[in-house]
A and B are shown apart, each in its own frame.
Chain A
Amino acid sequence: MPPNPPGSRPGALAHAFPETSAAPHSAPIGPLEAREGSGALKALLADLGSQIRRGRGLAREASLPLAFCPTGIPLLDARLGGGFPRGRLSELCGAPSSGRTSLATTLLAETLARGSLAAWIDPADAFDPVSAAACLAARGEGGKGSSDLRRLLWVRARSEKEAIRSAERILQTEGFELVLLDLAHARGRAPRGSQSAIQEASWLRLARLAAHGKSALVVLSNASQTGSRAELVLEMQRRRARFSAPPRLLDALEITAVLRRHRSRPTGQEIPLSLAADPDSSVDPHVHSQVHSHADPVHD
């Protein structure tokens, strides 16, 4: 038996690769066959080496702490473990007026205010730049929300198929911290070719691309559709709209965020939130405590 390479355990190679140490042919091995055998062994080792390296890389990636896109809402971020995870697929779902878009816009504003780039893929053509600029201005030092919008890439896709293709392309471009894919629809019925056309394979591909590009991919939808591919599913539920005393003004939207799915956090907890039309006047603990005690989920 040939001596083991220096530094290796005696017999380690034979133990690890018994099929390579056993003679495959009954005929005696000539010089040519011996060369071919050693070449095959080298190829096998090289192949295994790359697999081992890849495995190590995966293990290292898995052990690395996740980076997050915080929403800037302290309670929600605490419940989510820091925010929406980067390199993962997350979903925000709920009925119309359940606060999906407001939460997504808050997340967007927080991301843009940090100087990062974000993309909003909008097959529903529902993104409102004025609302987003107001949200950014409220997050930033004031009054400059529209300039932060220059770091937002708005893709007004004409169909969900285009939206998926656009999302794939953007996720391939490393450097977008947040990619929002708005598949929610405001109208009574879903647009032609929507939702059902998005197959499981698409979500798998998007999740992999998000992991590759280290982007937080957040999908807005009416009902959860990403299945097991999502790291996090946050369901938004509407409770009631609050109007002020005369003159009647829409004051706030009371909603509840329910963590339906999370790989590492407890699920099922309800997080009450208030979406204020004018944040400066809405944070009134007295009113909120009163509202929270009401049982009626939709309206008075």
Chain B
Amino acid sequence: MPIPSTTNKLAPAAGRARTRVACLLIPDLPLYAALRAEPELAGRSLVITTGPGPRAEILSASREALQAGIPLGQSLTQARAVSPGVEVRIASPVLERAARAAMLDVALSLSPRAETVARSGGLFTAEGAVFLDASGIAALHESESRFASVLHARAERAGLRGFVSLASSRGVARLAARQLANHARFARRAQEVETTRVLSPSKELAFLAPLSIDLLDPDDETADALARFGIHRIQDMLGLSSRDLAARVGPQILALIARARGEEIEPPLQTPRSLALEEGVDLESPLENLEPLTFVLRGLVSRLTQRLALRALGCGELRASLRFEGGGRDERRIALASPVQDERVLLRLIRQALESKPPSAALDGITLVCEGIPLRREQLDLFLPRGPDPSQLDQTLAELGSICGPSRVGSPAVVDDHRPDVFALQPFSGRVAPGRLAGRNADGVSSFTQSGRREADTTPTHTTVAARLTLRAVRPPARAEVRVEGDRPVALRSAVSQGEIVEIAGPWRTTGQWWSETGHFAVDHYDAQMSDGTVLRLCFDWRQNQWQVDGLYD
């Protein structure tokens, strides 16, 4: 491969001035993942270990633990020797995954394009980072510094304390954030810690030059080779010829040089398509009863709703994955009629689901996955009766769906179909068709009713008034035994009514879909008055060769 022989000059890359990328970086992600789940541990001496047992390494430690003299990378036994009262938690992949997703939610609350960074190795194993597109963001937030402060504050509210930097490329933004984290580690007081940095394009290279090459996250072989040559800072590396460096260190140095100069090939940031939010917890001791489980669920749901609020989403479906002690899983699916963001409602629904079918064994882990749906925003009509508050209505629909089943709650709709008793159930929205109320007065009362009411005041008492006769459906149709004389039914026995038929009208034949083996229907309908006064709709199904009562005039 031909290697360019040019010396690496500290010149800005052309065409990069307009792209701005923000990086939210949390150097101790396992620590903050644990603190999200147990906020009461904040301010205490806490270490996160790589696993159980006294030989487990310290992966991450709180500021209090570091000040107590516990260094990272030591074993738990050594840490306990230094500080016996230190709190210990094992790094949880479930919590860490949720924390990374929460970082992405924070980023997406401020920018439409964001993506998380894959987990690094080496020095940065405990690091979590997310990039977000910050191009033109200054127009929205007065300045980029202000935007960085907002991002930082929002991350803190989500329980994720980290560092924010803005630069022209992902690599440089990440380096700047890492440098902030590095300075913070050696700061004596919390007030000295700088948490945001905005690098203007013209100052980026000057910023990069004195930085340690370790911040570029080189592989071990490259790092050793550069150290052997006495190259420790980025400016030392960029001052040398790429060709010569590649010849001595290896071709992988070219990627490191490109990263240092902010010239790394970076695909555009994506808009995440998935709206599924996940929160989970591995329980330290198995839970058997619902009551303590509710406390755990409350934390999970609280974090979920916090993330939903960040993304302006509502929960459309909730899946609870229960992991049993000694293996085995159970999945619970709670479909919601409309998006819900209320923590209490979601918690109540999960409780209902668990109470209706309690877990068969003790639980040692639980994961909640919530399918996010954009929340409905609707302006109410000035000239219509006040309907329910939309969010309250959503909650009501969700609870009704939980009580009766989501497929049994909605608005009825007439279907253009000739089959008997065909209808549809649409999601209830309470919307009014535009222009539907034209011709009605401001009180919303139809002129028919008003004139009718005036008329009623003067109408004699013994006047018969007409209303429309309505059919009352019998679902499923009740089987009937019918005595037929000639071609007329004369007597009936069914669960709805039985006796002589005193009046009958019909039949009216309805057939259709004769071309379909399964959908073909052919029925004869009769309107029959029974001797007990009941007026019902009698039906003979030619396909099943069976009499049925499928309705009652009431």
Alpha-carbon distance between A299 and B466 when the two chains are bound, in angstroms: 19
Is A46 on the interface with B (CB-CB < 8 A)?
A: no
Given A72-B449, A162-B403, CB of A151 within 8 Å of CB of B467:
no
Is A132 on the interface with B (CB-CB < 8 A)?
A: yes
CB distance from B385 to the nearest CB of A (A): 5
Complex interface bits, A157-200 against B, C-beta within 8 A gives 1, otherwise 0:
11000100110011011111100000010111100000000000
Point out the residue from A106, A116, A158, A176 that lies within 8 Å of B404, measured CB to CB: A158
Contacts of B448 in A (CB 8 A): 72, 139
Is A9 on the interface with B (CB-CB < 8 A)?
A: no
Alpha-carbon distance between A134 and B471 when the two chains are bound, in angstroms: 11
B411–A130 contact, CB under 8 A?
Answer: no
Is A35 on the interface with B (CB-CB < 8 A)?
A: no
Contacts of B4 in A (CB 8 A): none
B468–A135 contact, CB under 8 A?
Answer: yes
Determine the residue in chain B with the shortest Cβ distance to A126.
B472
Is B183 on the interface with A (CB-CB < 8 A)?
A: no
CB distance from A72 to the nearest CB of B (A): 5
CB distance from A184 to the nearest CB of B (A): 8
A126–B475 contact, CB under 8 A?
Answer: yes
A77–B456 contact, CB under 8 A?
Answer: yes
Point out the residue from B386, B444, B474 that lies within 8 Å of A114, measured CB to CB: B444
Is A113 on the interface with B (CB-CB < 8 A)?
A: yes
Complex interface bits, B375-410 against A, C-beta within 8 A gives 1, otherwise 0:
000000100111111001101110110011100111
Complex interface bits, A129-155 against B, C-beta within 8 A gives 1, otherwise 0:
111111100111100111111111111
CB distance from A132 to the nearest CB of B (A): 7
Given A169-B400, A250-B535, CB of A102 within 8 Å of CB of B474:
no
Select the stretch in A15-23, A57-65, A275-283 that faces chain B.
A275-283
Alpha-carbon distance between A238 and B426 when the two chains are bound, in angstroms: 35
Point out the residue from B409, B462, B475, B495 that lies within 8 Å of A154, measured CB to CB: B409
Complex interface bits, B463-495 against A, C-beta within 8 A gives 1, otherwise 0:
111111111111100100000000000000001
Given A74-B456, A78-B457, A175-B388, CB of A97 within 8 Å of CB of B411:
no
Is A225 on the interface with B (CB-CB < 8 A)?
A: no
Is B6 on the interface with A (CB-CB < 8 A)?
A: no
A150–B387 contact, CB under 8 A?
Answer: no
Q: Restricting to B166-202, which residues have a CB under 8 Å from any CB of A?
A: none
Point out the residue from A70, A150, A238 that lies within 8 Å of B449, measured CB to CB: A70
CB distance from B336 to the nearest CB of A (A): 14
Alpha-carbon distance between A48 and B532 when the two chains are bound, in angstroms: 60
Select the stretch in B29-37, B81-89, B212-220, B501-509 that faces chain A.
B501-509
Contacts of A115 in B (CB 8 A): 381, 384-385, 432, 436-437, 440, 444
Alpha-carbon distance between A184 and B433 when the two chains are bound, in angstroms: 32
Alpha-carbon distance between A300 and B502 when the two chains are bound, in angstroms: 9
Is A206 on the interface with B (CB-CB < 8 A)?
A: no
Is B552 on the interface with A (CB-CB < 8 A)?
A: yes
Contacts of B235 in A (CB 8 A): none
Given A70-B453, A114-B446, A127-B412, CB of A155 within 8 Å of CB of B534:
no
Given A97-B535, A186-B496, A276-B466, CB of A127 within 8 Å of CB of B453:
no
Point out the residue from A148, A157, A252 that lies within 8 Å of B469, measured CB to CB: A252
Contacts of B504 in A (CB 8 A): 248
Is B545 on the interface with A (CB-CB < 8 A)?
A: no
CB distance from B102 to the nearest CB of A (A): 32
Interface residues on B, range: 35 or more
Is A45 on the interface with B (CB-CB < 8 A)?
A: no
Given A102-B469, A155-B409, CB of A144 within 8 Å of CB of B554:
no
B413–A149 contact, CB under 8 A?
Answer: yes
Determine the residue in chain B with the shortest Cβ distance to A125.
B475
Is B40 on the interface with A (CB-CB < 8 A)?
A: no
Determine the residue in chain B with the shortest Cβ distance to A163.
B404
CB distance from A150 to the nearest CB of B (A): 5
Given A126-B475, A130-B414, CB of A150 within 8 Å of CB of B431:
yes
A170–B534 contact, CB under 8 A?
Answer: no
B534–A97 contact, CB under 8 A?
Answer: yes
A299–B408 contact, CB under 8 A?
Answer: no
CB distance from B398 to the nearest CB of A (A): 10
Alpha-carbon distance between A78 and B205 when the two chains are bound, in angstroms: 87
A172–B466 contact, CB under 8 A?
Answer: no
A139–B505 contact, CB under 8 A?
Answer: no
Given A110-B449, A130-B414, CB of A105 within 8 Å of CB of B436:
no
Contacts of A71 in B (CB 8 A): 467
Contacts of A166 in B (CB 8 A): 400, 403-404
Complex interface bits, A260-279 against B, C-beta within 8 A gives 1, otherwise 0:
00000000010011111101
Is A211 on the interface with B (CB-CB < 8 A)?
A: no
Q: Restricting to A65-104, which residues have a CB under 8 Å from any CB of B?
A: 70-78, 95-103
Contacts of B553 in A (CB 8 A): 97, 241, 250, 253
Is A117 on the interface with B (CB-CB < 8 A)?
A: yes
Given A149-B411, A273-B464, CB of A175 within 8 Å of CB of B389:
yes
Given A74-B465, A97-B552, A157-B404, CB of A187 within 8 Å of CB of B496:
yes
Is B227 on the interface with A (CB-CB < 8 A)?
A: no
Contacts of B272 in A (CB 8 A): none
Is B291 on the interface with A (CB-CB < 8 A)?
A: no
Is A156 on the interface with B (CB-CB < 8 A)?
A: yes
Is A33 on the interface with B (CB-CB < 8 A)?
A: no
Given A186-B552, A241-B503, CB of A78 within 8 Å of CB of B453:
yes
A97–B468 contact, CB under 8 A?
Answer: no
Residues on A facing B (Cβ under 8 Å): 70-78, 95-103, 105-106, 110, 113-117, 125-135, 138-141, 144-158, 162, 165-166, 169-170, 172-177, 184, 186-189, 238, 240-241, 243, 247-250, 252-254, 269, 272-277, 279, 282-283, 288-289, 291-292, 297-300
16 A–B contacts from the bound complex (CB under 8 Å)? A73-B467, A106-B467, A115-B436, A147-B433, A151-B430, A153-B400, A162-B404, A173-B388, A175-B393, A187-B496, A240-B533, A247-B505, A248-B503, A250-B553, A275-B468, A276-B468
Instruction: Known A-B contacts: A78-B457, A130-B471, A272-B462. Give 6 more (CB < 8 A).
Output: A101-B470, A102-B554, A129-B414, A162-B403, A249-B505, A276-B469
